Amino acid sequence: MSFSIAENLNTIKNKIPEDVSLVAVSKTKPVEDLKKAYDAGQRIFGENKVQELREKQPQLPNDIEWHMIGHMQSNKVKYIAPYISLIHGVESLKLLQEINRQALKNNRVIKVLLQFHIASESTKFGLQLKEAKEILDSDEFQKLQNIEISGVMGMASFVENKSQVRLEFTKLKSIFEDLKSNYFTSTESFSTISMGMSGDYQIAIEEGSNMIRVGSSIFGARN
């Protein structure tokens, strides 16, 4: 199969509005592929395993924004805390506290997204709105000075039924609006709705996404 990573990137960028961030999901892909995407102008890369991210990060230019898009374990935050730009999958106070602790050690503020469970599949991770509000209302959360909650993230069900997918994206948008009006009214940095992947990003954008996570449409099917 002959395809060009640069061409694929340009095709997607031409399809999406300028205010939508494209995260190139580079998990399982070799560094050479990431370099091709980088040379084509891509600067945001998403990995889902800390070990893989640690191996790739030193081999690539420093102006890359690395996003952790997989399920994040508290005990691994310390390995990526010096350079990670955004952690997508945050769904517990314990994880927020650990990210804050490691950010403090590195004298920086780490941006995170709260992950919500919007899919019908029970295998997907994420918070319910009520749980998120309990975290945000807690005294423990108020003490965290080295994290910045930048928005929300969610994964739709992996189904053919596009109307179901659309409903799930609508749900995440309404969760974002609820949190924005009740907790982050004056916080400009709370602005990201990360939803949509290779198969459904166009629906996600129609429903309010401003950050999409695309892998196979850029790099080809995963090995």
CATH of 5-218, one of 3.40.50.300, 3.90.550.10, 3.20.20.10, 3.40.1160.10: 3.20.20.10
Amino acid code (one letter) for 22: L
**Would you give the distance in Å from CA 207 to the centre of its chain?**
17
* Whole-prediction pTM: 0.95
Contact 117, 128 (CB under 8 A): yes
- Please list the rounded mean pLDDT of every run of 10 residues in the chain (223 residues): 82 96 96 97 97 97 96 95 97 97 98 95 85 98 98 93 96 98 96 96 98 95 62
Length of the chain: 223
Q: What is d(CA 81, CA 72) in angstroms, rounded to the nearest whole number? A: 12
Residue 122: the pLDDT is: 76
Q: What is the mean pLDDT of the chain?
A: 95
Per-domain residue ranges of the chain: 5-218
Give backbone dihedrals phi and psi of 3, rounded to 5 degrees, phi first: -145, 160
Residue range 56-84, pLDDT digits in tens:
999 999 999 999 998 899 999 999 999 99
**Would you give the distance in Å from CA 217 to the centre of its chain?**
17
Residue 121: the pLDDT is: 77
Contact 194, 169 (CB under 8 A): no
With tokens 């769904």, the residue in question is 91
Compute the chain's Rg from CA coordinates: 17
Residue range 136-165, pLDDT digits in tens:
999 999 999 999 999 999 999 988 899 999
Orientation angle between helical segments 31-39 and 5-15, nearest 10 degrees:
50
**Would you give the distance in Å from CA 2 to the centre of its chain?**
29
